[in-house]
Amino acid sequence: MMKYFAKLGLNSKVTGFTHVGDNNAPDEKTGIEYLIKLYNYPFWVQTFKDRSQRKNYAGIGYKYDEDRDAFIPPKTYPSWILNEDTCQWEAPVARPDDEKIYDWNEETTSWDLVE
């Protein structure tokens, strides 16, 4: 089984990834110690593909928020608001709940029907 780790750069932004086998990472602390020795780089945080911990699987450009213990994706649009439960950005206006396709219009802060 593999465990996945995000490499954190300036301002806790994710700059890369690696995976470590269970024998070298039976837990997060041991996995981080292994990576520090291997890469001579100190900032690593475990990420989980199944999102069972840390809200989201880390991606390049995501930020690790230590207070929330969560990976947060880059903000989608300036007007969007962070959902504290999911740590995902959401539009300030709900997308219409029908079978049609919409695009977000940041200028009007509304959903435009795609024709």
| Residues 15-39: tens digit of each pLDDT | 999 999 999 999 999 999 999 999 9
CA atoms of 16 and 35, how far apart (whole Å): 13
Q: Reduce the DSSP state of residue 63 to 3 states and report it.
A: strand
pLDDT number for residue 65: 98
Nearest alpha carbon to residue 2 among 59, 47, 44, 61: 47
